[in-house]
Amino acid sequence: SAVISQKPSRDICQRGTSLTIQCQVDSQVTMMFWYRQQPGQSLTLIATANQGSEATYESGFVIDKFPISRPNLTFSTLTVSNMSPEDSSIYLCSLLAGGETQYFGPGTRLLVL
Amino acid sequence: QKEVEQNSGPLSVPEGAIASLNCTYSDRGSQSFFWYRQYSGKSPELIMFIYSNGDKEDGRFTAQLNKASQYVSLLIRDSQPSDSATYLCAVPGTAGGTSYGKLTFGQGTILTVHP
């Protein structure tokens, strides 16, 4: 399976600032996804990021708050904008491989003070 | 809207026992089902997936599907303390539709295997 890396692995940020999370894959993939996992909760899909098209967002998530880039088939970024303590979560990128099988990156642990 | 439900537990079993984890799903048209294991502080790791055409066994893990009752089970035989983790059930969107590839997760079941 593909190797997925994320940067940063964790960060502590002040409210009102923005953080960009990078997701790098060691092979070309068409579909990438960004998920959020709030403390003690399960995973919730934020958006789908396909190369060459704009990201599609799930209900409750908007582009102004979570802008996503997908410049090529191996890389994507998620920005968490104008952060508040409620944005403290683990943010995970994932990729679709072999049909419906999905693999996750190691995650970015974000704490907003 | 697709829903996936799991008993959050915690489920505690003694070492060597069989751990049984269940997941119910709302979409009768769902064709595939995924089980992820998540250790504390780590990201989810795919351990098993099955399609609607039958059960699957992989080592100590068995995934079973009951389509009539719309639930899928994960059995872990000879449970080990290293199996202690949160187990997440996930159902993907329908192939060919706008939700293709998108996973809907249950809330996860915390499993503790005690020596």
pLDDT digits (tens, 9 = 90+) for B16-36: 999 999 999 998 888 899 999
Output the pLDDT for position B2: 67
Largest CA distance in chain A: 40
Q: Which of A42, A100, A101 sits opposite B107 (nearest CB)?
A: A42
Output the pLDDT for position A99: 76
Nearest CA in chain B to A106: B43
End-to-end CA distance of chain B: 41
Which residues does residue B111 pair with via DSSP β-bridges, in sequence order?
B11, B85
Residue B3 burial (10 A CB sphere; 0-12, 13-18, 19+): exposed
Instruction: Pick out chain B residues at pLDDT < 70.
Output: 1-2, 94-97
Q: What is the tens place of the pLDDT at every residue in A12-31?
A: 999 999 999 999 999 999 89
**Mean pLDDT computed over A86-111:** 93
Amino acid at B113: V
Looking at the complex, report in whole angstroms how far the Cα of residue A80 sits from the nearest Cα belonging to chain B. Answer: 19
Q: What is the tens place of the pLDDT at every residue in A65-80?
A: 999 999 999 999 999 9
Output the pLDDT for position B4: 94
Residues of A in contact with B44 (CB under 8 A): 43, 92, 104
SS3 A87: helix
Q: Could you tell me which residues of chain B have a Cβ less than 8 Å from any Cβ in chain A? A: 32, 34, 36, 42-46, 49, 88, 90, 92, 95, 101-108
Please indicate if any CB of chain B lies within 8 Å of the CB of A96. yes
> How many CA atoms within 13 Å lie on the side-chain side of A4?
27
**8-state DSSP, B94:** P
Please indicate if any CB of chain B lies within 8 Å of the CB of A5. no
Comparing CA positions, the residue from A10, A22, A26 lying closest to residue A49 is A22
What Rg do the C-alpha atoms of chain A give, in angstroms? 13
The verdict on a CB contact (< 8 Å) between B42 and A48 is: no
Looking at the complex, report in whole angstroms how far the Cα of residue B42 sits from the nearest Cα belonging to chain A. Answer: 7
* A97 and A109 Cβ atoms separated by less than 8 Å: no
* A27 and A84 Cβ atoms separated by less than 8 Å: no
Residues of B in contact with A91 (CB under 8 A): none
* A113 and A13 Cβ atoms separated by less than 8 Å: yes
Output the pLDDT for position B1: 62
